[in-house]
A and B are shown apart, each in its own frame.
Chain A
Amino acid sequence: MTARVGVEGLARSFAGVPAVRDLSFTVGAGEIHALCGHNGAGKSTVVKMLSGQIPPDQGRISVDGEPAELRSRRAAQRLGIALVDQELSVVPALTVLDNLLLGDIDAPMLNRRRAAVARCRAVLDEIGLERIDPDRPLSSLSIGERQLVEIARALSQKARLVILDEPTATLSDVESDLVFAAIRRVAARGCAVLYVSHRLAEVLDLCDTVTVLRDGRRIATTPAGELTVGTLIEQMLGEAPHRLAATRPPDPDLGHALRIDHLHVPGRLADFTLTAQAGRIYALAGQLGSGASDVLRALAGLHPQATGSVELHDRALPLRNPVGAARAGVAFVSNDRKSEGLFLDKTVAWNLVATRLPSLGRAGVIRAGRERRAARSLAERSGLAEHRLDDPVLTLSGGNQQKVFVGRCLGRDDVHALLLDEPTRGVDIGGRAAIHRLLRSAADAGLVVLFASTELEELLELGDVIVTLRDGRTVGRYDGDADGATLMRDMTHGVNAT
């Protein structure tokens, strides 16, 4: 195989923190090359550099032996690099046809409708969307179908390299199989494919070669035939973390503070049931699209279509209503600190007291003294320096921002359940340990703590009980007896259990 795309000495850092260091690899024509790695290994940074979304700090990228200047998505496309972004990048307001043609540099300036529809039909059929009319607005399609449209768009362009970043996270098995078939056809035509995925079984099934990244470095490039899921996990994790006994064993005398019964979110989560004791930490383990974070969002009232019955301290928790959930004692820490969490322009002090304003005064008037004292004590409790109280939150590091976010939920008599989606996403090692201590102390203070995470170490370190999810279904439940490899297997290619 000749090298279609070559990467040499590629490096990129963000705000001084290296994300990718001295990375070299090649993808040959017709080769399906997987990029694997744990969260934060640098996969997405590589994808962004190769697709022209961010420039590398160092290193060279070449296409068919020619050095490539990838200053924009457009420039990358001109060189024949197509992309399926990790985030869904199709436009719901357009029709399926328009989405398929969007950004295609080969699309003619003047639309030739008949030709376009014919081509579009063929492309859709190929990926298993035979029943989809090209003139339907994309907004009428399910999330999985939209993802298929985006994949179809990338595969239908006359590309030399197709990059697919987590293309199957929101797809069913049948849909995934259709995508794999389509990818194989594209590769057979001589196109190079770079495939990024968490689902290791499908990686081994689909790809020819696997490059594993860890902490921004290349650990190994191995023919897929020589790998098993086990050896691949070993490469990704280094030494697989082992499970110690649950920090807090179940207390037989204590009842269940939180009862989740048949929680259901259409298209995302099926029949989730869990009973939880106050004082213990429950971990939901699952990749993107597994339903783990949907459990939390539904409990926080953020899924307008959630059904089921949930009781918190023997009182029914209103679903589908965030104000009601908060009033019933649920505090929620979203996985998207920036757009759905903190008030970034506001000060640390404001953010810390944002959800407890009514308790800081009387008749709707805030008492300055009481507010200050509350902010100070919360800052101390969450490990934030007091002199930062009046700085805008956006000047803090990720770790400290997350402390503010968690600290906001602490020390409130009216909070009974603390829900956290990816509690340490974008947090450095030190901050991570501090946040884990915060969660443990919150549990010790009598809260039910429930968190969702994709990170093995975190799940194993923190979860007294670990529930694994995949494709919206519960796969396994471990009360102090799981190890990293088992969890990884459950999360990546588990068989559907119970």
Chain B
Amino acid sequence: MMVSRSGRAEAPPDTPPATGARRRPDPLRLAAGVLVLILLAAGASTDRFLTLDNARAILASTAFVGITAIGATLVMIAGSAVSLAVSQTATVVAMIFLATQPLGLGTSLLLALLCGVTVTAVQGAVIGYWAANPIVLTIAAGFATGGVATWISDGTTVSAEVPRYDVLNSTPLGLPLAVYVLLAVTALAQWTLRRTTAGRQMYLVGENRAAAHAAGLPVGRVTVVAWAFFGACIGLTGVFLASFNTGANSALGGTLTLDAIAAVLAGGTAIAGGRGSALRTLGGALLISIISDVLLLRGYSTGIQILVKGLLVLAVVLTVHLRSVRGRR
């Protein structure tokens, strides 16, 4: 008896996955292949696409959102889905960074990042230790952070009297510094996920929180680490936004929140957690930038670019889901 719960009858005989994969091509790889082909064809047939300047433009436009998206990847892998407080946090960080410019670049950078890490890690703690719903919590946190930002800035634009951030706007070897930071953050995140205990535990907690809990894994601590990393990434984006715009008002964060989530999803990281990687997110962010770039060069409106971005994310989400479901059957 208890067939369904005992699983005796349900348990599949050992099936090496290789045969299944051979019978039907992996939908994710197939889709990725088709997409790359389309992009190559579209790119090759588009004027000015295959130029160094254009490549630079693509990388530069990826950097700001990309850095935050890498952090969001860790949080999504660790099973906390998404944060809706990203824009506000980046704004506060930017304001602190600008307001503390007189203390020197190093100090202001440190203070700004510290603020990003603290604000975000506290949310992670409530989610990790008390299992609060991340969406509700981050909406509340977003209001609190945004409110405080408007409060201290008095609704005006914060700017630095003695700017010391010029180095952040520099372009070594023709690429903005933010691009290098994006690559460094990606590498660090990828290494953390692959090679450290904390990273490994993020995958485990994200895939099955109940199992991790029952196995005595430190669910709370792992979640806090992921969110702290996320906070540092948001902080970096905030600092770059501040330097780039030479000022910060409450609208600075803009659409950062959703853009970051879109990049993570476009990379194929599953919102349910437990799967994904920093490299994939980098790929997703680049993909969005490249597609927008091709459409832009071909003269399509911003609206069409956003529409295609949405459809791309939808396609990836569905493909990733179908693939994981097929794996289970």
**Which residue numbers of A lie inside 8 Å of B, CB to CB?**
13-17, 19, 37-45, 48, 86-87, 196, 213, 300-302, 322-323, 325-327, 330, 332, 334, 336-346, 350, 354-355, 357-358, 360-361, 364-366, 368, 388, 391-392, 394-401, 408, 425-428
For B197, give its contact among A213, A325, A366 (CB under 8 Å): A366
A–B Cβ pairs within 8 angstroms, 27 of them: A13-B9, A14-B11, A40-B8, A43-B3, A44-B1, A45-B3, A323-B217, A332-B216, A336-B5, A338-B7, A341-B211, A342-B211, A343-B211, A344-B207, A345-B207, A354-B200, A354-B204, A395-B12, A396-B14, A397-B13, A398-B10, A425-B6, A426-B6, A426-B8, A426-B10, A427-B8, A428-B8
Closest Cβ neighbor of A399 among chain B residues: B11
For B2, give its contact among A86, A322, A397 (CB under 8 Å): A86
Question: In the bound complex, do residue A426 and residue B11 qualify as a contact, i.e. CB atoms below 8 Å apart?
Answer: yes
CB within 8 Å for A48 and B4 given contacts A15-B13, A323-B218? yes
Please measure, in the bound complex, the distance between the C-alpha atom of A330 and the C-alpha atom of B216, giving whole angstroms: 9
Give B160-219 interface residues, CB cut-off 8 Å to A: 195-198, 200-201, 203-204, 207-208, 210-211, 213-219
Question: In the bound complex, do residue B4 and residue A44 qualify as a contact, i.e. CB atoms below 8 Å apart?
Answer: yes
Question: In the bound complex, do residue B8 and residue A366 qualify as a contact, i.e. CB atoms below 8 Å apart?
Answer: no
Question: In the bound complex, do residue B2 and residue A339 qualify as a contact, i.e. CB atoms below 8 Å apart?
Answer: no
Closest Cβ neighbor of B274 among chain A residues: A345
A40: chain B residues within 8 A (beta carbon): 1-3, 6, 8
A37: chain B residues within 8 A (beta carbon): 1
B204: chain A residues within 8 A (beta carbon): 343, 346, 350, 354
For A325, give its contact among B16, B216, B328 (CB under 8 Å): B216
Taking the closest CB of chain A, its distance from the CB of B114, in whole angstroms, is: 21
Taking the closest CB of chain A, its distance from the CB of B217, in whole angstroms, is: 7
Q: Assess whether B107 is interfacial by the CB under 8 Å rule.
A: no
Please measure, in the bound complex, the distance between the C-alpha atom of A374 and the C-alpha atom of B214, giving whole angstroms: 22
Report which residue of A44, A343, A365 has the largest number of chain B beta carbons within 10 angstroms of its beta carbon. A343
A48: chain B residues within 8 A (beta carbon): 3-4
Q: Assess whether B25 is interfacial by the CB under 8 Å rule.
A: no
For B5, give its contact among A42, A87, A427 (CB under 8 Å): A87
Question: In the bound complex, do residue A322 and residue B216 qualify as a contact, i.e. CB atoms below 8 Å apart?
Answer: yes
Taking the closest CB of chain B, its distance from the CB of A7, in whole angstroms, is: 16
Taking the closest CB of chain A, its distance from the CB of B128, in whole angstroms, is: 12
Taking the closest CB of chain A, its distance from the CB of B223, in whole angstroms, is: 13
For A339, give its contact among B6, B8, B210 (CB under 8 Å): B210
Q: Assess whether B324 is interfacial by the CB under 8 Å rule.
A: yes
Closest Cβ neighbor of B20 among chain A residues: A395
Please measure, in the bound complex, the distance between the C-alpha atom of A355 and the C-alpha atom of B210, giving whole angstroms: 14
Question: In the bound complex, do residue A357 and residue B14 qualify as a contact, i.e. CB atoms below 8 Å apart?
Answer: no
Please measure, in the bound complex, the distance between the C-alpha atom of A14 and the C-alpha atom of B196, giving whole angstroms: 40
Q: Assess whether B309 is interfacial by the CB under 8 Å rule.
A: no
Interface mask (B117-136 → A, CB under 8 Å = 1, otherwise 0)? 00000000000000000000
Please measure, in the bound complex, the distance between the C-alpha atom of A401 and the C-alpha atom of B8, giving whole angstroms: 12
Report which residue of B214, B324, B328 has the largest number of chain A beta carbons within 10 angstroms of its beta carbon. B214
* Contact count band on B: 35 or more
Taking the closest CB of chain A, its distance from the CB of B151, in whole angstroms, is: 38
A399: chain B residues within 8 A (beta carbon): 11
Taking the closest CB of chain B, its distance from the CB of A130, in whole angstroms, is: 33
Q: Assess whether B299 is interfacial by the CB under 8 Å rule.
A: no
Please measure, in the bound complex, the distance between the C-alpha atom of A43 and the C-alpha atom of B11, giving whole angstroms: 17
B201: chain A residues within 8 A (beta carbon): 357
Give B259-303 interface residues, CB cut-off 8 Å to A: 274-275
CB within 8 Å for A341 and B214 given contacts A358-B197, A392-B327? yes
Question: In the bound complex, do residue B6 and residue A39 qualify as a contact, i.e. CB atoms below 8 Å apart?
Answer: yes
Question: In the bound complex, do residue A395 and residue B1 qualify as a contact, i.e. CB atoms below 8 Å apart?
Answer: no
Question: In the bound complex, do residue A326 and residue B3 qualify as a contact, i.e. CB atoms below 8 Å apart?
Answer: no
Question: In the bound complex, do residue A397 and residue B12 qualify as a contact, i.e. CB atoms below 8 Å apart?
Answer: yes
Please measure, in the bound complex, the distance between the C-alpha atom of A40 and the C-alpha atom of B16, giving whole angstroms: 26
Taking the closest CB of chain A, its distance from the CB of B209, in whole angstroms, is: 10
User: Interface majority SS on A: helix, strand, loop or mixed?
Assistant: mixed
Closest Cβ neighbor of A18 among chain B residues: B9
Contacts A13-B9, A357-B197 known; list 5 others, CB within 8 Å.
Answer: A15-B13, A17-B11, A40-B1, A397-B13, A426-B10
Please measure, in the bound complex, the distance between the C-alpha atom of A20 and the C-alpha atom of B304, giving whole angstroms: 57
Taking the closest CB of chain B, its distance from the CB of A290, in whole angstroms, is: 15
Q: Assess whether B51 is interfacial by the CB under 8 Å rule.
A: no
Closest Cβ neighbor of B329 among chain A residues: A394
A346: chain B residues within 8 A (beta carbon): 203-204, 207, 274
Please measure, in the bound complex, the distance between the C-alpha atom of A398 and the C-alpha atom of B16, giving whole angstroms: 14
CB within 8 Å for A365 and B197 given contacts A341-B211, A395-B12, A426-B11? yes
Question: In the bound complex, do residue B200 and residue A43 qualify as a contact, i.e. CB atoms below 8 Å apart?
Answer: no
Please measure, in the bound complex, the distance between the C-alpha atom of A75 and the C-alpha atom of B103, giving whole angstroms: 74
A365: chain B residues within 8 A (beta carbon): 195-197
Taking the closest CB of chain A, its distance from the CB of B159, in whole angstroms, is: 40
Please measure, in the bound complex, the distance between the C-alpha atom of A338 and the C-alpha atom of B196, giving whole angstroms: 25
B327: chain A residues within 8 A (beta carbon): 345, 392, 394
B5: chain A residues within 8 A (beta carbon): 44, 86-87, 336, 425
Report which residue of B7, B196, B275, B324 has the largest number of chain A beta carbons within 10 angstroms of its beta carbon. B7
Taking the closest CB of chain B, its distance from the CB of A345, in whole angstroms, is: 6
Taking the closest CB of chain B, its distance from the CB of A18, in whole angstroms, is: 8
A338: chain B residues within 8 A (beta carbon): 7
Report which residue of A323, A326, A427 has the largest number of chain B beta carbons within 10 angstroms of its beta carbon. A323
CB within 8 Å for A366 and B214 given contacts A40-B1, A44-B2, A426-B6? no
Taking the closest CB of chain A, its distance from the CB of B210, in whole angstroms, is: 5
Closest Cβ neighbor of A13 among chain B residues: B9
Question: In the bound complex, do residue B2 and residue A401 qualify as a contact, i.e. CB atoms below 8 Å apart?
Answer: no
Question: In the bound complex, do residue B211 and residue A323 qualify as a contact, i.e. CB atoms below 8 Å apart?
Answer: no
B218: chain A residues within 8 A (beta carbon): 323
B207: chain A residues within 8 A (beta carbon): 343-346
Taking the closest CB of chain B, its distance from the CB of A430, in whole angstroms, is: 12
Closest Cβ neighbor of B14 among chain A residues: A397
Question: In the bound complex, do residue A355 and residue B216 qualify as a contact, i.e. CB atoms below 8 Å apart?
Answer: yes
Please measure, in the bound complex, the distance between the C-alpha atom of A402 and the C-alpha atom of B2, giving whole angstroms: 17
For B215, give its contact among A19, A43, A326 (CB under 8 Å): A326
Please measure, in the bound complex, the distance between the C-alpha atom of A24 and the C-alpha atom of B1, giving whole angstroms: 17
B275: chain A residues within 8 A (beta carbon): 345
Question: In the bound complex, do residue B214 and residue A345 qualify as a contact, i.e. CB atoms below 8 Å apart?
Answer: no
The 6 A-B pairs at the shortest CB distance, nearest first, are namely A326-B216, A398-B11, A426-B7, A14-B9, A43-B1, A19-B9
Please measure, in the bound complex, the distance between the C-alpha atom of A327 and the C-alpha atom of B218, giving whole angstroms: 10
Taking the closest CB of chain B, its distance from the CB of A331, in whole angstroms, is: 8
CB within 8 Å for A395 and B2 given contacts A340-B214, A366-B200? no
B16: chain A residues within 8 A (beta carbon): 388, 391, 395
For A401, give its contact among B11, B17, B210, B324 (CB under 8 Å): B11
Closest Cβ neighbor of A385 among chain B residues: B14
Closest Cβ neighbor of B1 among chain A residues: A43
B214: chain A residues within 8 A (beta carbon): 300, 302, 322, 332, 334, 340-341
Please measure, in the bound complex, the distance between the C-alpha atom of A395 and the C-alpha atom of B10, giving whole angstroms: 12
Question: In the bound complex, do residue B200 and residue A350 qualify as a contact, i.e. CB atoms below 8 Å apart?
Answer: yes
B200: chain A residues within 8 A (beta carbon): 350, 354, 357, 366
A325: chain B residues within 8 A (beta carbon): 216
Question: In the bound complex, do residue A322 and residue B213 qualify as a contact, i.e. CB atoms below 8 Å apart?
Answer: yes
A401: chain B residues within 8 A (beta carbon): 11
Question: In the bound complex, do residue B17 and residue A391 qualify as a contact, i.e. CB atoms below 8 Å apart?
Answer: yes
A336: chain B residues within 8 A (beta carbon): 5
Please measure, in the bound complex, the distance between the C-alpha atom of A37 and the C-alpha atom of B2, giving whole angstroms: 10
